[in-house]
Amino acid sequence: MSRPIATQEPSGKCLPLTGPQEAAVAKLAYTAGQPGAIALLCGPAGVGKTTVLRAMAADGLPKSQTIRLMPWADIRADRGDLAAGRMRAAASDDDSFPHVLLIDDAHRAVAAELVEFVELCRRRHDGIAIVLAGEGRLLSLVASDARLEQAVRLRATVPTFTLAESRRVFGPTLAFNAAEADGEAVIRTIHEIAGGVPAIAVRLAEMLAMLAAADPRRDLTPDDVEAIHRRLSLSAA
């Protein structure tokens, strides 16, 4: 059964994980079941790394294993330095230390900070499994410390959507709002503008669904996608 992602359409319907996202959850869950393992989850911004971590935290592990998901921003001190006291608090603020720790946006760390935090966690619980998720820079951070790199047992990636995945995810939502001749063109335009990045595609699809809901008799077209994209680009500028 497909797990829902956190982002929802205006209708409240959850979008399913893609095949590669499902595969990443399965690989990470298997590796996290090995005490002391470190796994990496990499991919560009917006491809669904946080979605994968949330799916894993929700039901990717046996109920007997405790799991905690933390963004790196919650570990860092407010000034941007990682204070040892803050790290120890983050690593031991519960009497029951988790079996698996998921760290999101780990690429934002400085190499020495990341190594120190991992060592603190392992001293607190030598069997803890840690999943570090982030953009490509994370690979360089891990490679900078031989002990950390040697402990890595899995390097998983989350790729951008293929056109087929965009069609499968957004087709059921938008096709019934689009004229038959335009349905495929609408989805293709979403995919091309988003470059296959799910976060961008979801935003475009949400806005299109709102447009269709406001005027149910209107057929969506590629021009609507282009207009919404220009509006979002101007808002972000």
Q: Is 129 helix (H, G, I), strand (E, B) or coil?
A: strand
Cα–Cα separations (whole angstroms), residue 210 to 9, 11, 62, 166, 172: 9, 9, 39, 19, 15
pLDDT of the residue at 4? 32
| Residues 83, 89: Cα–Cα separation, whole Å | 10
pLDDT value for 173: 67
**Whole-number pLDDT of residue 213:** 84
The pLDDT value recorded for residue 8 is 39
State residue 98's pLDDT score.
Answer: 83
- Helix or strand holding residue 154 (H, E): strand 152-157
Q: What does the pLDDT profile of the chain (237 residues) look like in tens digits?
A: 233 333 333 334 456 788 888 999 999 999 988 888 999 999 999 999 999 999 998 887 777 788 899 999 888 764 444 444 445 555 545 455 788 999 999 999 988 888 888 888 888 888 899 999 999 899 999 999 898 898 899 999 999 999 998 888 887 767 555 555 578 889 999 999 999 998 899 889 888 888 888 888 888 889 999 999 998 887 765
pTM of the complete model:
0.78
Amino acid 39: pLDDT: 96
Q: Which residue has the tokens 């995810």?
A: 169
pLDDT at 77: 60
Q: What is the DSSP pairing of strand 14-16 with strand 4-8?
A: antiparallel
Q: What are phi and psi of 73, to 5 degrees?
A: -60, -30
Q: Are 166 and 190 in contact (CB under 8 A)?
A: yes
State residue 155's pLDDT score: 94
Residues in Cβ contact with 39 at an 8 Å cutoff, skipping those fewer than 6 apart = 27, 28, 31, 32, 129, 130, 131, 132, 152, 153, 154, 155, 156
Residue 4's φ and ψ, nearest 5 degrees, are: -80, 150
Ranges of each domain in the chain:
19-157, 163-236
The whole-angstrom separation of Cα 151 and Cα 153 is 6
Q: Residues 72, 78, 83, 87: what is their CA dihedral angle, to the nearest 10 degrees?
A: -40
Q: What is the CATH number of domain 19-157?
A: 3.40.50.300
Positive/negative CA dihedral, 7, 8, 13, 19: negative
- The DSSP H or E segment spanning 65 is none
Which amino acid is it at 55? A
